[in-house]
Structure 1
Amino acid sequence: MQDIDSGLYRGISDFAHDTPAWVQHLVEAWTEAGLLLFGVLFAAAWWRARRGGPYALAVAVLAPLATAVASVCSELVKSAVDEVRPCRAVAGAPASLMACPPHGDWSFPSNHASIAGAAAVALTLAWRGLARLAFPMALLMAYSRVFVGVHYPHDVLVGLLLGAAVAYAVVRLGARPMTHVAEALRASTTRPVRWFAGPGPAAPDRDTPQPRSARRD
């Protein structure tokens, strides 16, 4: 299995070196800047949730927190496995496009991929419409880490799955207690707190079933 993975790594690295310089620079920029774009999407999901119900606000607030928890879990696994980066370990592979991290900055799993997988799942739970953007972003982030030569394919695959699983668990387990927090925030008399929590829905959702007494005969 390690030989197969090393062969995939060499193949992707060879392909990366055959691409135009502008493609290489674009992927190098994406592998870091993509994380910032996820941050923008977290902010957009929170801003949208300010006018939603307490549960919607709770999930939007939990989304970046769940991603942070996934990042910590990834780092804990990484420190336990101690896998040497492929840019140091794979013989016959071209030089990595990015500077190879120093020895001790381990490879498995990819923390970038863990963050991306967690962000994609958490954002989708907060705002389903973001799935079409968040999941391709996560896959591209994972691939870019192999493309620039700092991770094996199995590093990013496990990273995506680990991040997604942790984020899903954190949001699902934390949604109910965080909903109570969201309700308390909206009931606060402190103006900055109420601004953060938002005004909530302006009117009942038309898709929400109404009590019989509220329906017209």
Structure 2
Amino acid sequence: MDEQRNRPLRRMLRGVDHGVFRQVATRSWPGAEPVLPRLSRAANHGALWFGLAAGMWALGGARSRRAAVRGAASLAVASLTVNTLAKGAVRRNRPVLESVPVIRHLPRQPVTSSFPSGHAASAAAFTAGAALESREWGTVLAPVAASVAFSRVYTGVHYPSDVLVGAGLGIGAALAVRGLVPSRSQLPPPARPRTDAPALPKGEGLRIVVNPSSGAQPHVVDPVRQLRTELPEAELILYDSDAGPLSQVLETEAAEAARLGGALGVFGGDGTVNAAVGPALAHGVPLVVLPGGTFNHFAADLGVDTLAEVCTAVTEGSAVRADVGRITALPGPDGRRGAAEPLYFLNTFSLGVYPDLVRLRERWSPRIGGPPATLFGVAHVLRTARPLRVEVNGRRRSLWLLFAGNGAYRSIGIAPVRRHDLADGLLDVRIAHGGRFARTRLLGAALSGGLRRSPFYAAARPERLMVSGLPQGADMAFDGEVVAAPGAFVLDKLPEALTVYRPV
């Protein structure tokens, strides 16, 4: 009975669908003929969107890279859903091409089910995914996505309903990805508590040290020109290695900022920001972090993506307090004595295989690029590394990795991803133990989601950790820098010690 009742409705919808298709096919579309067929072919197998993702990653900042990754992930989910489930569930013949001008025909006509449109799903998924991280990119990509979707009707390979349903599935895929991995706008505001800092109209009293050699991330707009435009009263110092060590230059500028009642600014990556922590603490000046490196982890966790956002925070005096991780070397039984001054970290500290990975990545990335260098480095380290024997809080351990984050990290598997609070007073300590087939079992546990149940993995969030008994020649890494590790040291925190400008 229901079948008979629904039959007239289906006939009506089919008639509307075919009628709109014929209207598109028989109508003249000035300017579309040389563009839409080519655009439709360019989107085959997602090539257009993956190319755009590569461009967004290479030329944009942190927000653009997040948009590129989320867009590509959403496209992958949409493509998998449409091509393996939807097309198999609904077998619909392609439109008859007799009403479509021959000049619009694609060189190779698709033979899969017409319903739903995979091109429309991919276009909508990539655009919606990117828009969830960056409205600006969503605005730029939306006309391209709409053109790709319309091109499928224009060239005669899909009915309008195929395109509409495909686009809906694509948007659904982007929302599903967001459900698994929340976008930045869904997450709680990072970096609390808020605090007062000097408002510096036009950057008056601000000393900015620019490290041109930081990272490898190109900028669409010249950052120095942008800073001089938005903060014309700030003093910009272009660091040159001939002027001495970066730490010495930062020390001088921090002292001058303190005399002026202003702030110390740094444009560079995480290593450059790390070098500014000691001078900022010593002279009691707020820090202005201007993201200019490859990854900018601290700036991202702080909630700062662009120079414009930081400049606004400086002129308004908007700031937060952040914890500082501290490494204090101790006299060791082997005669190696502690350093005169502690070392600081804002992001992470590690022992074991990670310092080796950082060295390999730095060696290979100029030749093959950062991501491939990281993958090759991981493969090399997993194949050749040996466990490190140390004492952690007085207990002897064999470990592949000791990780300590300055604050609790959210994670995907074993990899720390992001912090929501830069002033929680805790260290995020994770240890991968050595043992029989430990590497294989750890990797399997991470991939299966059972890492926390593995006997080779331990995690805790203490305020203090003591490490001793390190062998001669062991290295440690903090904030991306690799140095020789002392024989014994203490990791702890300076709670809310650093004032950092951040927009409201």
Fold match by TM threshold 0.5: yes
Q: Do residues 109 (structure 1) and 394 (structure 2) align?
A: no
Aligned: 1:79 with 2:79? no
**Cα deviation 1:59-84 (Å, max 9, x = unaligned):** 64333122111011111201210011
Distance (whole Å) between structure 2 residues aligned to residue 116 and residue 78 of structure 1: 17
* Superposed displacement of residue 174, structure 1: 2.4
CA distance in 2, matches of 1:38, 1:102: 20
Q: Which residue of 2 aligns with 1:118?
A: 125
How big is the alpha-carbon RMSD for the aligned residues of Structure 1 and Structure 2? 3.4
Aligned counterpart for 1:14 among listed residues 26, 44, 59: 26
Contact (CA 8 Å) 2:91, 2:113: kept in 1 or not? yes
- More helix by percentage: 1
By how many angstroms is 1:202 displaced? 7.5
Q: 2:62 aligns to what SS in structure 1?
A: coil
Correspondences of 1:1-217 after superposition (within 5 Å): 1-15=13-27, 18-19=28-29, 23-34=32-43, 35-47=46-58, 52=62, 60-75=68-83, 76-87=85-96, 93-94=99-100, 97-99=104-106, 101=109, 103=111, 105-175=112-182, 198-200=294-296, 205=304, 206=310, 209-211=319-321, 214=499
- Report which of the two has the higher share of strand: 2
Q: Matches of 1:73 and 1:215 in 2, distance apart?
A: 44
Unaligned runs of 5+ in 2: 1-12, 184-269, 271-292, 305-309, 322-495
State the SS of the aligned residue for 2:51: helix
Q: Secondary structure at the match of 1:151?
A: coil
Q: Which residue of 2 aligns with 1:193?
A: none
Matches of 1:48 and 1:109, distance apart in 2: 33
8 Å CA contact 1:74, 1:111 repeated in 2: yes
Query: Unmatched 5+ residue regions in structure 1?
Result: 177-186, 188-196
1:132 to partner: Cα distance: 1.6
Instruction: Specify the alignment match of 2:333 in structure 1.
Output: none
Residue 210 of structure 1 aligns to a residue in which SS?
Answer: strand
Structure 1 counterpart SS, 2:33: helix
In 2, distance between residues paired with 1:121 and 1:141?
A: 14
- Matching residue's letter, 2:499: A
Structure 2 distance, partners of 1:215, 1:120, is: 34
Q: Displacement, 1:209?
A: 4.7
> In the superposition, relative to structure 1, how do residues 154 and 209 fare at CA in structure 2: closer, same or farther (>3 Å)?
farther
Q: Distance in 1 between matches of 2:53 and 2:179?
A: 17
The superposition leaves residues 170-205 of structure 1 with CA deviations (integer Å, 9 ceiling, x where unpaired) of 1341248xxxxxxxxxx9xxxxxxxxx933158563
2:110/2:157 contact within 8 Å kept: no
Q: CA deviation at 1:101?
A: 3.0
Per-residue Cα deviation, 1:31-71 (whole angstroms, up to 9, x for no partner): 1225544223312333367x538xx8566433312211101
**1:194 aligned residue:** none
Q: Identity across aligned pairs (percent)?
A: 29
Q: CA deviation at 1:6?
A: 0.3
Instruction: Find the aligned partners of 1:27 and 1:7 in 2 and give their Cα distance.
Output: 21
Q: Secondary structure at the match of 2:19?
A: helix
- Aligned-residue offset at 1:128: 2.3
Task: Give, as a single letter, the amino acid of the residue that structure 1 aligns with 2:77.
Answer: V
| AA partner of residue 161 (structure 2) | H
Residues 215 and 46 of structure 1: is their aligned pair in 2 closer, same or farther, counting only changes over 3 Å? Answer: closer
The secondary structure found in structure 1 opposite 2:18 is helix
The answer as to whether partners of 2:71 and 2:130 remain within 8 angstroms in 1 is: yes
SS in 2 for 1:144: helix
Task: Tell me, in whole angstroms, the C-alpha distance in 2 between the residues paired with 1:47 and 1:202.
Answer: 20
For the residue of structure 2 that corresponds to 1:214, the secondary structure is: strand
Alignment-derived partner of residue 190 in structure 1: none
Q: Give, in whole Å, the separation in 2 of the partners of 1:135 and 1:2.
A: 28
Secondary structure at 1:86's aligned position in 2? coil
- Tell me which amino acid in the other structure corresponds to 2:78: A
Q: Deviations over 1:97-141 (max 9, x none)?
A: 3247355x1101100000000011111123321122111111111
8 Å CA contact 2:319–2:499 kept in 1: the answer is no
Q: Say whether the 8 Å CA contact 1:45–1:126 is kept in structure 2.
A: no
The change in CA–CA distance for 1:141 and 1:215 in structure 2 (over 3 A counts) is closer
* Cα 1:102/1:156, change in 2 over 3 Å: closer
Please give the TM-score of this superposition, normalised by the length of structure 1: 0.72
Q: TM-score, normalised by structure 2?
A: 0.33
1:94 shift after superposition: 3.7
Relative distance call for 1:214 and 1:78 in structure 2 (3 A) is: same
